[in-house]
């Protein structure tokens, strides 16, 4: 399954995994080297991962899948590792942990319920009104024991993903600050539509002018004019959907260099397809703005 170009270097940066791309005898062009998680005490960058590949190789202990490697490095399950790789545009072998889209009936994790106090508290800490977020976006709580297909979704808020009037998937966000996997999506074989092939937002409220952002909380902050691509990595399917729904698009990603590059790439992709598009630089990220500043930003784009 290929989602997009695998931005493995950004994954390593975000999760503080030490790596090198040059300056070592084991380095090869097109590969990234890390300390092998399978060799006890290895500190010689023996494990190499090819950019856009699915299998890494250690100079000592041989081949291992990238899913297994990430799971070992972060001390998480293979299912969780898959979801992390997915968020960075990665792919898995044909014998993937998670089967193709729609092979199982869509459903939420076990014990999904209305917002609990600790989840409401998290939303308040982010500057959101829990009642509004729950009512407007259908956000729910996942408590201490919540799972689906063996994947643990404990202590998260859950945002259903709607498309053409139906719930087709979901995304969750850790509220404890302790999970190494901040965002986890629905297992792909449970999705009615793959979330990286559609857009997140209030589809019924869209006009021909839209605001493209990275994540679900950015949409909550900027309102019904906004839509998200579930991360800075986007697919051609998403670009086609944007063209279908919008004539003009303002792209507002975070101010980190990689995010800015992706925003400019999005602008170029849309302009190539005849959509009027421009990058709107901001400081920080849209989801972290005060509601007043966000409202003023949206008004300035009209």
Could you tell me if 294 and 210 lie in one domain?
Answer: yes
More confident site: 25 or 271: 271
CA distance 154 to 179: 10
Residue 288 lies in a domain: yes
Average pLDDT over residues 62-78: 82
Average pLDDT over residues 88-113: 70
More confident site: 59 or 270: 270
Could you tell me if 80 and 121 lie in one domain?
Answer: no
State both tokens at 295: 């409202």
Q: What is the pLDDT of residues 143-197, one digit of tens each?
A: 999 999 888 999 999 999 999 999 999 999 999 988 867 888 898 889 999 898 9
CA distance 242 to 239: 5
pLDDT band at 1 (very low <50, low <70, confident <90, very high): very low
Q: What is the pLDDT of residues 242-265, one digit of tens each?
A: 999 999 999 999 998 888 999 999
Q: Is the pTM of this model over 0.75?
A: no
The domain of 258 spans 200-300
| pLDDT number for residue 15 | 77
Residue 45 lies in a domain: yes
Comparing C-alpha atoms, which of 301, 289, 170, 124 is closest to residue 225?
Answer: 301
What CATH number has the domain bearing residue 221?
A: 3.40.1360.10
| pLDDT number for residue 2 | 35
Could you tell me if 187 and 205 lie in one domain?
Answer: no
Question: Do β-strands 209-213 and 226-228 pair in parallel, antiparallel, or remain unpaired?
Answer: parallel
């Amino acid at each position: 399954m290929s989602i997009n170009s695998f931005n493995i270097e950004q994954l390593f940066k975000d999760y503080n995994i030490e790596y090198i791309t040059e300056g070592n005898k084991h380095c090869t062009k097109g590969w990234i080297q890390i300390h092998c998680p399978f060799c006890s005490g290895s500190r010689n960058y023996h494990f190499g991962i090819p950019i856009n590949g699915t299998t890494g190789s250690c100079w000592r202990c041989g081949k291992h899948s990238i899913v297994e490697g990430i799971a070992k490095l972060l001390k998480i399950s293979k299912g969780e590792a898959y979801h992390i790789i997915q968020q960075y545009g990665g792919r898995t072998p044909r014998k993937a942990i998670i089967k193709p889209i729609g092979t199982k009936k869509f459903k939420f994790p076990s014990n999904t319920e209305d917002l609990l106090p600790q989840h409401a508290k998290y939303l308040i800490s982010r500057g959101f009104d829990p009642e509004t977020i729950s009512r407007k976006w259908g956000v729910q709580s996942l408590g201490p024991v919540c799972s689906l297909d063996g994947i643990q979704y404990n202590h998260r808020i859950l945002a259903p993903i709607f498309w053409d009037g139906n719930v087709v998937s979901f995304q969750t966000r850790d509220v404890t600050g302790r999970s190494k996997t901040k965002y986890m999506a629905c297992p792909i074989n449970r999705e009615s539509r793959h979330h990286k092939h559609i857009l997140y937002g209030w589809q019924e409220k869209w006009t021909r002018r839209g605001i493209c952002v990275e994540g679900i909380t950015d949409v909550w902050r900027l309102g019904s004019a906004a839509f998200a691509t579930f991360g800075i990595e986007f697919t051609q399917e998403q670009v086609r959907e944007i063209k279908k729904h919008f004539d003009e698009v303002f792209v507002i990603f975070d101010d980190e260099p990689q995010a800015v590059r992706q925003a400019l790439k999005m602008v170029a992709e849309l302009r190539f397809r005849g959509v009027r598009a421009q990058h709107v630089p901001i400081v920080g990220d849209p989801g972290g703005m005060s509601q007043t500043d966000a409202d003023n930003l949206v008004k300035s784009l009209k």
